[in-house]
């Protein structure tokens, strides 16, 4: 006779494979090739910046969870992603104490004050980066040349600057392709851009590896390809139209695609599920909005790069997009007011 205590649970009794943790883990995997390439391009300093960014995010998350008496959530990988993304938006010779400030702000202000993972409005890494840009305008626009000979043997002194001390730069301040375009009207060849033989932030250099990582996530359905496609399409269309109108004044769509942080933003930041709309229509509009802002800021704005602000503004807009573009519920004739 069957005599066994049965467990009970609510339906459904089967689930699809992906868990949040697995998704987050895969985002980390997808970022690793581009991160390693930045270490190859910029050497030890890149390794230190990335490591500090990740460590400061993890420590902040742990400390804030402990202080507020919440369950410690460092194992969900989201802080690792924030750290990696933050690190990749920074210049290679960025002082480490500033990196740590960025990590603290990203997790504390970008995520924790909103209620933790899932409740944040803005991409935490970009919140950290935005504060750093406001606080340290010089450090964040001082670039090291790529592939310098001594990159694996020495560390730029600025990296190890003491907290609250003005860093001393002993390096040649190379221009990024975007600032070269903005201020000197010099166009870097697209091939160099795509394969990362250029100066810039850690994650700005190899568009190709970043795109490959992004495609990996999209194929595994862990990032929404529609967001990336919508951003890149709107960038191509708008910059292409401008380029056709006046090729002297406006750079080609290829240059626009592969320079700066566009790939990193389009593949890893704008696709951050938390800050993007839920509905397909909302996602398309969100992507187009970001793409158009990127081109507008780069060409007419006062800054060489506009990806960060474009995505932050897109994040701010996305809850509204979900409201405005709410899909029609089955069996209802018109959209319900809310």
Partner 1 sequence: MKMLNIHKDTFKHGVHPPEYKEETNHLPIRQFDFAPVLIIPMAQHIGSPSEIVVREGQEVERGQLLAKSTGYVSVPIHAPAAGIIRKIANVPTISGKMSPGIFLEVFPFSGQEVAEGMPLDIETASADEILKGIQDAGIVGLGGAAFPTHVKLKVPDDKNCEVLLINGIECEPYLTTDHRVMLEQTEDVIHGIKYLMKATGAPKAIIGIEANKMDAAEHLERHIPEDLPIEVKVVPVKYPQGAEKMLITSIMGVEVPSGGLPIDVGAVVVNVATAAEIGRLLPHGWGIQERVVTITGPGVKNKGNYLIPMGTPLRYVLDQVGVSDNISEVYMGGPMMGMAVSNLDISIVKGTSGILVFNDEDVVSRNEEHPCIKCGACVEACPLSLNPSRMGLMAKFKAYDRMAEEQNLLDCFECGSCSFVCPSHIPLVQYFRLSKSIVRKRKSAKQHA
Binding residues among 70-129 for partner 1 as defined by CB under 8 A:
76, 116-119
Provide, rounded to whole angstroms, the least separation between the CB of residue 280 and partner 1.
8
Find out whether 84 and 50 touch, Cβ atoms under 8 Å: yes
C-beta closer to partner 1: residue 70 or 185: 70
- Other C-beta atoms closer than 10 Å to the C-beta of 253 total 21
C-beta closer to partner 1: residue 2 or 162: 2
> According to the binding rule CB under 8 A, does residue 6 interact with partner 1?
yes
Q: How many CA atoms lie within 13 A of 45 on its CB side?
A: 28
Coil/strand/helix, residue 272: coil
Number of residues that bind partner 1 (CB under 8 A): 46
Range in contact with partner 1 (rule: CB under 8 A) among 30-38, 62-70, 301-309, 326-334? 326-334
Range in contact with partner 1 (rule: CB under 8 A) among 182-190, 198-206, 309-317, 321-329? 321-329
Binding residues among 10-29 for partner 1 as defined by CB under 8 A:
10-16, 18-23
Provide, rounded to whole angstroms, the least separation between the CB of residue 122 and partner 1.
13
- Classify 185 in phi/psi space as left (phi over 0), alpha (psi -120 to 50) or beta: left
Provide, rounded to whole angstroms, the least separation between the CB of residue 6 and partner 1.
6
DSSP string of 187-199, one letter each residue: PPPHHHHHHT-S-
Find out whether 80 and 58 touch, Cβ atoms under 8 Å: yes
Coil/strand/helix, residue 135: helix
Judge residue 151's burial from the number of C-beta atoms within 10 Å of its C-beta, 0-12 exposed, 13-18 middle, 19 or more buried.
Answer: buried
Report angle CA 228, 178, 155 to the nearest 5 degrees: 100
Binding mask 266-295 for partner 1 (x = CB under 8 A): -------xxxxxxxx--x------------
Provide, rounded to whole angstroms, the least separation between the CB of residue 228 and partner 1.
15
The residues of the shown chain that bind partner 1, judged by CB under 8 A, are 1-2, 4, 6-16, 18-23, 76, 116-119, 224, 273-280, 283, 322, 326-333, 336, 338
């Amino acid at each position: 006779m069957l005599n066994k205590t049965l467990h009970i649970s609510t339906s459904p009794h089967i689930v699809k494979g992906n868990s949040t943790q697995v998704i987050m883990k895969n985002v980390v995997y997808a970022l690793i090739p581009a991160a390693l390439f930045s270490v190859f391009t910029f050497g030890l300093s890149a390794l230190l910046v990335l490591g500090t960014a990740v460590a400061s995010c993890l420590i902040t998350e742990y400390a804030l969870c402990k202080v507020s008496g919440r369950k410690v959530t460092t194992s969900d990988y989201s802080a690792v992603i924030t750290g990696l993304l933050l690190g990749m938006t920074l210049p290679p010779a960025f002082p480490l104490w500033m990196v740590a400030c960025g990590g603290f702000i990203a997790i504390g202000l970008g995520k924790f004050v909103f209620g933790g993972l899932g409740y944040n409005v803005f991409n935490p890494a970009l919140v950290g980066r935005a504060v750093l840009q406001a606080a340290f305008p010089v450090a964040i626009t001082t670039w090291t040349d790529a592939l310098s000979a001594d990159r694996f043997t020495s560390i730029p002194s600025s990296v190890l600057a003491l907290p609250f001390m003005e860093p001393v730069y002993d390096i040649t301040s190379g221009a990024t392709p975007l600032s070269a375009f903005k201020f000197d009207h010099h166009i870097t060849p697209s091939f160099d851009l795509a394969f990362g033989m250029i100066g810039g932030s850690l994650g700005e250099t190899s568009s190709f590896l970043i795109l490959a990582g992004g495609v990996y996530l999209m194929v595994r359905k862990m990032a929404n390809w529609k967001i990336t496609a919508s951003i890149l399409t709107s960038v191509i269309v708008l910059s292409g139209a401008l380029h056709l109108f006046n090729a002297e004044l406006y750079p080609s769509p290829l240059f626009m695609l592969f320079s700066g942080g566009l790939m990193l933003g389009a593949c890893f930041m704008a696709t951050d599920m938390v800050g993007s709309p839920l509905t397909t229509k909302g996602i398309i509009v969100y992507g187009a909005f970001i793409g158009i802002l990127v081109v507008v800021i780069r060409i007419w704005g006062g800054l060489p790069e506009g990806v960060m602000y474009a995505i932050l503004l897109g994040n701010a807009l996305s809850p509204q997009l979900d409201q405005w573009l709410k899909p029609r519920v089955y069996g209802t004739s018109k959209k319900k007011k809310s």
